[in-house]
Chain A
Amino acid sequence: MGANAVKKIHVSTTINGEPREFLCEPGQVLSEVLRLTLDLTGTKEGCTTGDCGACSVTLDGALVCSCLVLAAETEGREIGTVEGVARGGELHPVQQKILEHAALQCGICTPGIVVSAKALLEQNPDPSEEEVRYWLAGNLCRCTGYDKIIRAVLDAAATMREEAP
């Protein structure tokens, strides 16, 4: 049977706080639906095997590789992508510090790093350098050698602690 002969599945989700519905094929992964169907191309595909982290999103708050999640599995769940990180025209501290520290070169891994680092700081507001390094070990960057990324995340954590009520 041809792939196009399979009936599509209707899925209702919440993406970055907004209710979204889409149709997907049973075998389609979330990263492909985000990128092709919903035009949320901030989520990148570097490997589609869960090894590079460029497609990092949150699913009900948990950090996942969206290339390893079937789109149909997201029925009734909350998806957070890089497009939802800046709010009301204001950057998240992680985004701001990545810019200030020049913590990107080509930038293809940056959306995944932003989503991943934000998830880290939400559960650990004061991580050590080692904790940041291990948390981001699933986000490959070939350009920077990670130095400036680690500094940016540590700086963002410090800023968020200062700003916390």
Chain B
Amino acid sequence: MSTAVKTDFRVVGSRPIRPDGLDKVTGRAKYGADLNLPGQIFGHVVRSPHAAAVIKSIDFSDALAMPGVMAVMSADDLPEPGDRLLPGAEVEMKLKDISPVIMARGRVLYHSQAVAAVAATTPALAAEAAGRVRIEYEVLPHVVDMHEALAEGAPLVQDDIFTQGVEPPPTVPSNLSLQMELAKGDLEAGFAEADVVVERTYSVPMCHQAYIEPHACVARVDEGGRVDIWCCTQGPFMVRNMTAELIGVELGKIKVTASEIGGGFGGKTTVYLEPLAAVLARKSGRPVKMAMSRDEVFRASGPVSPAETRVKLGVTRDGRITALETDILMDSGAFTGSPLMPSVLFGNAQYRCDNVRSRGREVLTNKAKMWAYRAPGAPQSTVAVECAVNEAAELLGMDPIELRLKNAVEEGDVPLYGVPFQAVGLKECLEAARAHPNYSAPLGPNQGRGVACAFWINAGMQSSATLHVASDGSVNVMTGNPDIGGSRASMALCAAEVLGIPVEQVRPAVVDTDSVGFCDSTGGSRTTLATGGAVIKAAEMLVEELCERAAAVWGLEPEEVEWREGRALSRVGFGLDEVTEGRAAADSEQKVLTLAEMAASAGMTGGPLTASASLHAHNAAPGFAVNVCDAEVDPDTGKVTILRYTCAQDAGKAVHPAYVEGQMQGGAVQGIGWALNEEYLYDEQGVLQNAGFLDYRIPVASDLPMIDTVIVEVPNAMHPFGVRGVGEVPICPPMPAVVSAVNAAAGTRVCTLPLSPPRLLAAIQSGEAD
């Protein structure tokens, strides 16, 4: 078993072609909407045309009269959620905050909320039948803006929300669902000590994860009530848990197979269609396929909490941060459960500061329930803190990286969330960014540079892995974590490293919920760390067994055998640790059995070679990233061009560096989109106005330069290979890096994102700060 962090690697750190690559470049890979079952019919969701209303009645008779309509459903077909908690959820979730998102019960709280569903023999017929479901509504007043939702006399999104986190608890319901505060030190004293104080309020828009693959699934229910679900999800076990509760079926009767997944970024860590497809399949006796349109994806899945963060930062003349205060107002949509806490805790964890206070308030509005997006909550507060640090650097006439280096956390520092840091690579990332040629590239007129650094905590959680050795010595590695960005390659590398075999000899697979132990979802930057950890553990168990079997064959003690380069070797002169190839050949006492030889004869040494391991990973270590953005602003149009972009990130150990770079580049570009263009726009009726890729504009290839990357490796001391999660922190620094670069280029101080051309142009022309 591993006791120390490994530093000499055979295959970890190399860049093999991903094992699922051929299927993906040829179109063979099967995604959520790619499975067609014999006899399948098609489900279609009926959605609310109102932002707030009472559902008076639902009449299916016209729809049911259409030939080819096979089943209909409403919330009456689902169990009452009551006050139960969702068992096995990663964070505490009440069913009553999830069930109405699947299907409204009695009342709709946002436009496009699911109200009913139909299933028919073709997609077109199902859509037509959905249009014939007669629903009578009593329209209620609604509120979509979070400030208006907090105003006196605002319509209540729900009737029974009493602000949590307030003592004594309020007796009157409101839209303020949660309030929290964390603090240490003496804020007043900290500001008194400061020579420069910056205070600003930054506003981050509501956006969407905007994965390219819409939610899709196929469900089948057999005559014995067993439910078989195929879907694109970040967590097949999560789908099984949630579906069991939401439709009232025993968990053990549900099998979920994750398809290939076309992006998720947190947005596929819940269910929308799967429970509905299962109910429609049960009622019709036919396999039911459901897929959202892009319009439905934008209106009724995701989206991402907008937030407003007031920041106040105190710094001494010599660049020491003496006080840091943040106050976050976050929109949760129609149900509680926004990422307020990580926003409160993690936007400031990159700096050592004795006097910190962070407060947060969560507000309900008549909008879709917000869901996770890559480092949930952190970008919304990080943007304020990092822009304030840049402003302080300007006021002090200090290089922004120099100012950060003076305050960056290192081993032993204790962030507001209370867990002391072990070795972390923030300073190394800052140094790497400063040393990159992009940082000294000359800037022309209307050009500016922005720097930001950021923290994300990373998750561990539960994972399982099973290894099977085939009789030729090749190895199957099975886990339950959908591969969203190359994780099968990481699993194969981890197994090959421990087993001492070529990575091509390993076949990694993502298998269904019946075929491997429980795995928490692919999310929280946890898959390579935790599921990879389970693979490492299983491979180590296999090596131990291989050594025992070889020892038994040779009549030696297991300690007299070691595993090296994919072979069992008897230790000649046990106690001397010098076994070499040359000596093996020369010394007839040296015995050797390769994995292939042992696999071929496994039947004579104890049966097939397999190993399974599971773990609850408590060894996640934080990730830090630094971005540098160079931008040019056209003063006549307000259009921003990103000239250069540099990302440095501490990966701990990059198992497959190309896919680590991919996370860094992808996260940076998502952040660039959020900073410059992406924004939900609602009309007076609470209806989203830009529910499509034409009007909700994510970055396209021609918007961008190459995204330069520097991987820093400060090993995670708690992981056998030193791995840190890498997937989420990349989206934390881009917004402040871009905003700072753009404001520097334009000579503005716009604090309301996105910095779209009209907003920027107005600021340039008015010559005023935000």
Provide the main secondary structure of the chain B interface: loop
Does B484 belong to the interface (CB within 8 Å)? Answer: yes
Q: Are A144 and B262 within 8 A (Cβ)?
A: no
Does B662 belong to the interface (CB within 8 Å)? Answer: yes
Interface 1/0s, chain B 3-30, versus A by CB < 8 A?
A: 0000000000001011011101111111
Please, how many angstroms separate the alpha-carbon atoms of A35 and B123 in the complex? 13
Does A158 belong to the interface (CB within 8 Å)? Answer: no
Residue of B nearest to A27 (CB): B124
Q: Which residues of A contact B704 (CB under 8 A)?
A: 133, 145-147
Please, how many angstroms separate the alpha-carbon atoms of A133 and B706 in the complex? 10
Q: Are B26 and A44 within 8 A (Cβ)?
A: no
Does A45 belong to the interface (CB within 8 Å)? Answer: yes
Known: A105-B486, A150-B701. A99 touches B18 (CB 8 A): yes
Residue of A nearest to B24 (CB): A107
Q: Which residues of B contact A91 (CB under 8 A)?
A: 22, 25-26
Candidates A42, A83, A144; contact of B666 at CB < 8 Å:
A144
Interface 1/0s, chain A 129-165, versus B by CB < 8 A?
A: 0101110111111111111111100000000000000
Q: Are B25 and A45 within 8 A (Cβ)?
A: no
Does B342 belong to the interface (CB within 8 Å)? Answer: no
Does B285 belong to the interface (CB within 8 Å)? Answer: no
Q: Which residues of B contact A51 (CB under 8 A)?
A: 294, 692-694
Does A52 belong to the interface (CB within 8 Å)? Answer: yes
Stretch at the interface among B31-39, B569-577, B628-636: B31-39
Candidates A81, A105, A145; contact of B485 at CB < 8 Å:
A105
Q: Are B212 and A46 within 8 A (Cβ)?
A: yes
Known: A133-B704, A150-B706. A42 touches B693 (CB 8 A): no
Q: Which residues of B contact A137 (CB under 8 A)?
A: 700-703
Please, how many angstroms separate the alpha-carbon atoms of A139 and B704 in the complex? 14
Q: Are B701 and A106 within 8 A (Cβ)?
A: no
Interface residues in B111-132 by Cβ distance below 8 A to A read 121-125, 128
Candidates B25, B212, B702; contact of A141 at CB < 8 Å:
B212
Q: Are B263 and A108 within 8 A (Cβ)?
A: yes
How many B residues touch A, CB cutoff 8 Å?
Answer: 68
Please, how many angstroms separate the alpha-carbon atoms of A27 and B127 in the complex? 13
Q: Are B30 and A41 within 8 A (Cβ)?
A: yes
Q: Which residues of A contact B500 (CB under 8 A)?
A: none
How many A residues touch B, CB cutoff 8 Å?
Answer: 64
Please, how many angstroms separate the alpha-carbon atoms of A110 and B27 in the complex? 8
Q: Are A107 and B29 within 8 A (Cβ)?
A: yes
Q: Are B698 and A111 within 8 A (Cβ)?
A: no
Residue of B nearest to A134 (CB): B702
Residue of B nearest to A36 (CB): B36
Q: Which residues of B contact A45 (CB under 8 A)?
A: 33, 214, 291
Output the residue of B25, B484, B663, B668 with the most chain A CB within 10 A: B25
Does A43 belong to the interface (CB within 8 Å)? Answer: yes
Q: Are A2 and B67 within 8 A (Cβ)?
A: yes
Candidates A4, A100, A145; contact of B121 at CB < 8 Å:
A4
Interface 1/0s, chain A 62-82, versus B by CB < 8 A?
A: 000000000000000000011
Q: Are A32 and B123 within 8 A (Cβ)?
A: yes
Please, how many angstroms separate the alpha-carbon atoms of A46 and B31 in the complex? 12
Q: Which residues of B contact A143 (CB under 8 A)?
A: 263, 485, 662, 666
Please, how many angstroms separate the alpha-carbon atoms of A148 and B67 in the complex? 50
Q: Are B36 and A147 within 8 A (Cβ)?
A: no
Provide the main secondary structure of the chain A interface: loop
Please, how many angstroms separate the alpha-carbon atoms of A104 and B486 in the complex? 8
Does B429 belong to the interface (CB within 8 Å)? Answer: no
Please, how many angstroms separate the alpha-carbon atoms of A142 and B701 in the complex? 10
Please, how many angstroms separate the alpha-carbon atoms of A105 and B89 in the complex? 27
Q: Which residues of B contact A81 (CB under 8 A)?
A: 27
Interface residues in B209-247 by Cβ distance below 8 A to A read 209-214
Separation in Å of the B659 CB from the closest CB of chain A? Answer: 6
Q: Which residues of B contact A2 (CB under 8 A)?
A: 66-68, 125, 128
Q: Are B484 and A106 within 8 A (Cβ)?
A: yes
Residue of B nearest to A51 (CB): B693
Does B265 belong to the interface (CB within 8 Å)? Answer: yes
Q: Are B124 and A111 within 8 A (Cβ)?
A: no
Q: Are A106 and B263 within 8 A (Cβ)?
A: yes
Does A23 belong to the interface (CB within 8 Å)? Answer: no
Q: Are A105 and B666 within 8 A (Cβ)?
A: yes
Please, how many angstroms separate the alpha-carbon atoms of A101 and B661 in the complex? 11
Q: Are A111 and B700 within 8 A (Cβ)?
A: no
Does B685 belong to the interface (CB within 8 Å)? Answer: no
Q: Which residues of A contact B668 (CB under 8 A)?
A: 145
Please, how many angstroms separate the alpha-carbon atoms of A137 and B122 in the complex? 33
Can you offer 15 A-B residue contacts whose CB atoms are under 8 A? Answer: A2-B68, A3-B125, A25-B122, A25-B124, A40-B27, A82-B26, A106-B212, A109-B262, A111-B27, A114-B27, A136-B702, A137-B702, A141-B701, A145-B699, A147-B706
| Contacts beyond the supplied A44-B262, A108-B213, A137-B702: 17 A-B pairs with Cβ under 8 Å | A4-B121, A28-B124, A36-B36, A51-B692, A54-B212, A85-B26, A95-B26, A102-B659, A108-B211, A109-B212, A130-B702, A138-B700, A142-B210, A144-B669, A145-B665, A145-B699, A147-B706
What 7 A-B pairs are tightest by C-beta distance, nearest first? A42-B27, A108-B262, A145-B669, A102-B658, A107-B24, A145-B665, A51-B693
